[in-house]
Structure 1
Amino acid sequence: MVELRENDLALVDLGGIRKEISLALVSAANVGDYVIVHVGYALGLIDPEEAQRTLEMFGELSRAQAESL
């Protein structure tokens, strides 16, 4: 998360796209935390190491798709 906002809202960065999400289900989230997001809601916190592994896998998939075009 990059910014906490009023009314249980936050701003997240999704690969360069910034989106406002609800923190109604994850009240313990702070700026700098990684959260799992689905349809505009943070569903849970994720460990930073696990988040990095996941982001790397998404990057590999993106590169593989680009190469196959």
Structure 2
Amino acid sequence: MCLGVPGKIIAIDNADLGTAWVEISGVRRSVSLACLLDETTEPESLIGQWTLVHVGFAMSVIDADEAQRTLQLLNEMKALEQEMDGHEIRG
């Protein structure tokens, strides 16, 4: 299963290489913008945009509402996992 995690593009890391700094739940990492850039898109135009990040690549631009909904669901899944870790499952 592949999972794209929402992150906000906060700065351009290297415009020549097409990389940017993205913040994901308070953690900043450098990611490739290769999937978002074409001959008409300047890297700087993506600053402030939300994107789905998968294995170091910004895969697509998403709107802020979708990003927040996805982050909320991921937090709920994490909470459920922590709750389940505290209970023994019997089969």
Band the TM-score falls in, shorter-chain normalisation: 0.7 to 0.9
Runs (4 or more) in structure 1 with deviation over 4 Å come to none
Which residue of the partner structure matches residue 8 of structure 1? 18
Q: Which has the higher contact order (CA 8 A, sep 6+)?
A: 2
Which residue of the partner structure matches residue 33 of structure 1? 49
Identify the range of structure 1 (55-64 vs 7-16) with the bigger mean alpha-carbon deviation.
Answer: 7-16
* Residues 1:57 and 2:67 aligned together: no
Two-structure CA RMSD over aligned residues (Å): 1.5
Larger radius of gyration: 2
SS in 2 for 1:43: strand
Which residue of the partner structure matches residue 67 of structure 1? 83
- Could you tell me the TM-score, scaled by structure 2's length? 0.66
Distance 1:14 1:48 in 2: 13
Structure 1 residue 62, shift from structure 2 partner: 0.8
Distance 1:18 1:68 in 2: 29
Identity %: 33
Unaligned runs of 5+ in 2: 1-8, 86-91
Unaligned runs of 5+ in 1: none
